[in-house]
Amino acid sequence: MESINNEDKTMIHISHLHPLKLIESPEPKPMCHACNMLCSNQSYGCIQCYYFLHITCATTKRTMDHPSHPAHTLKLELTPPYHNGPYGCDGCGVDGTSFCLRCGECSYDLHLPCAAIPHQVKHSSHPHQLTLVYENPYSPDTEGAFCNLCMKDLDVNKWFYLCTSCDFGGHVECFSPEKLEVLSPGLQEPHHMESYGAAQVGNQTNNLLELQLQLRRAGQANAIINAGHSLSSLA
């Protein structure tokens, strides 16, 4: 779907007419057209059209297997698959209005940044490895789950990090990226990323967690807006 030229750091992406160049994101920081989150570091961009994609979003393959949905292969869609609006991401629960990784058979949809959250990590807060949990591991009526880092409520129906032997874990965004060591990535990294070197890949993980944080904030803002609506409809 895309062809990358490592020599001059450009790529042809199916979503855009012109070649995209790997550049430091300009000011003001542009939105990524794949996920609608800010591009804060390097990104693939067409300056002429002010069209930008995160490296992760630009290099997501057309089809891929993801550990959260082992039964079927996910396909990259460039527009939300539903005619009448956004898709709900099955990873974070926040609406998506642009690219999505999808299993059509199950109506299973993921944001690109969510699909790239590392599957297994080590974190300075805990001696054992933590695994990203995709399905509620507790009984369905479990209440009062909380995050061991921020001590706030944890929705166990969304993805979160967990050490199963200690029942220690919490919000993805609470496991701060500086202290994170990725043991197993979420997405299979495209092989050309090797040429960026380990430091770059580490940076990308930080970017991903920053994106994740942006998504959560967007979700909270929506929840507040929705609450406002339901309150005003009561009046």
Q: Which residues bind Zn ion (CB under 5 A)?
A: 18, 32, 34-35, 46, 48-49, 54, 57, 72, 89, 91-92, 103, 105-106, 111, 114, 128, 147, 149-150, 163, 166, 170-171, 174
Minimum separation from the CB atom of position 199 to Zn ion (A): 21
Question: Which CB sits closer to Zn ion, 166 or 227?
Answer: 166
Minimum separation from the CB atom of position 61 to Zn ion (A): 15
Minimum separation from the CB atom of position 152 to Zn ion (A): 6
Give the Cα separation of 18 and 47 in Å (integer). 10
Residue with tokens 């750091």: 9
Question: Which CB sits closer to Zn ion, 167 or 194?
Answer: 167
Question: Which CB sits closer to Zn ion, 66 or 233?
Answer: 66
User: What DSSP state is assigned to residue 26?
Assistant: P
Residues 201-222: b if buried by 16+ CB within 10 A, e if exposed: ebbbbebbbbbbbbbbeebeee
Minimum separation from the CB atom of position 235 to Zn ion (A): 33
Neighbours of 52 (CB within 10 A): 25
Minimum separation from the CB atom of position 118 to Zn ion (A): 14
Any residues with CB less than 8 A from the CB of 102 and at least 6 apart, and which?
74, 75, 76, 77, 81, 87, 108, 109, 110
Question: Which CB sits closer to Zn ion, 26 or 235?
Answer: 26
Q: How many CA atoms lie within 13 A of 139 on its CB side?
A: 3
Give the Cα separation of 140 and 135 in Å (integer). 10
Question: Which CB sits closer to Zn ion, 145 or 202?
Answer: 145
